Amino acid sequence: MFSLSEENYLKSIYHLEAIHGKGISTNSIAKKLETKASSVTDMIKKLAEKEVLVYKKYQGVSLTKLGRKEATKIVRKHRLWEVFLVEKLNFSWDEVHDVAEQLEHIKSPKLIDELDVFLGFPKMDPHGDPIPDKDGKFQKIEKKLLSTLEENKIGICVGVNDSSSDFLKYLDKNNISLGQKIKVLSKESFDGSSTILINSKEITISKKISNNIYIQS
């Protein structure tokens, strides 16, 4: 059994590995968890003891199979709860993350699988992220950043890279949501900003924005 804190470390390392591959640095974990590197060192020693990750001094860490399995369970819980909040409790997609951060730590063998049944085995969470099934399996969907789309090309919004309330509210304000068609009208090479057509409206978005929107094209 893992403590709330241990679970948060596992999840963070899992997400970091998804982006950067094996060998996650102490500092990057510290940044993600908004804690100090020294605290991370303490904790990863403990997690190495528990054999959910491999740790060599100064070399960063990598999850073991067991560690990945545990992390996947937490991600599954997080995303299923997010679906529940949006589908059943009238939460909007920018309100769910913080509550799901708490709910993902509830321990009950039955709870999460029944929730899955109740929700009809959803494959995606409200932000377009895949939900692992009971066995931890999920299909990776084809997606790329809007920032990589060339001028005059069209894509469909299928996810976001940042689930913060601030960013999602910005998207709402500009009528950007999952399933929306987005056409890149022009790109400014100076600052990376681009003008896009969405909902038959032209808007200009910064590089930071287009770097946080996933599309399928």
Partner DNA sequence: AAATAATTTTAGTCTTGTCTAAAAAATTAT
Partner DNA sequence: ATAATTTTTTAGACAAGACTAAAATTATTT
Residues that bind DNA (CB under 7 A): 3-6, 25-28, 35-46, 55, 57-60
As given in the structure block, the two tokens for residue 131 are 């939900």
Instruction: Calculate helix-pair angle for 65-88, 109-119, nearest 10 degrees.
Output: 50
Residues numbered 80 to 109 that lie near Mn ion (CB under 5 A) are 82, 97
**Minimum CB–partner distance for residue 179 and its own copies (Å):** 24
* C-beta closer to its own copies: residue 66 or 89: 89
| Strands 61-63 vs 144-145: parallel, antiparallel or unpaired | unpaired
The three-class DSSP label of residue 8 is helix
**Under rule CB under 8 A, residue 70 binds its own copies:** no
Residues 25, 37 contacting (CB under 8 angstroms): no
N-terminal to C-terminal alpha carbon distance within the chain:
42
6 binds, among DNA, its own copies, Mn ion, none (CB under 5 to 8 A by kind): DNA
State yes or no: residue 172 binds its own copies (CB under 8 A). no
Out of 3, 102, 164, 175, point to the residue binding its own copies (CB under 8 A): 102
Question: How far is 207 from 202, CA to CA, in rounded Å?
Answer: 16
What distance in Å separates the CA atoms of residue 63 and residue 65, rounded to the nearest whole number? 7
The entry of its own copies, Mn ion, DNA, none that residue 3 binds, CB within 5 to 8 Å by partner kind: DNA
Query: 193: how many CB neighbours lie within 10 A of its CB?
Result: 16
- The answer to whether residue 77 forms part of the interface with Mn ion (CB under 5 A) is no
Angstrom distance (rounded) from CA 43 to CA 86: 34
Distance between CA atoms of residues 84 and 125, nearest Å = 9
Q: How far is the CB of 167 from Mn ion (least distance, A)?
A: 12
Q: Shortest distance, CB of residue 173 to its own copies, whole angstroms? A: 20
110 binds its own copies (CB under 8 A): yes
- Under the rule (CB under 8 A), what is the footprint of its own copies? 85, 88-91, 95, 98-99, 102-103, 106-108, 110-111, 114-115, 117-118
- Under the rule (CB under 5 A), what is the footprint of Mn ion? 82, 97, 125, 127, 129, 163
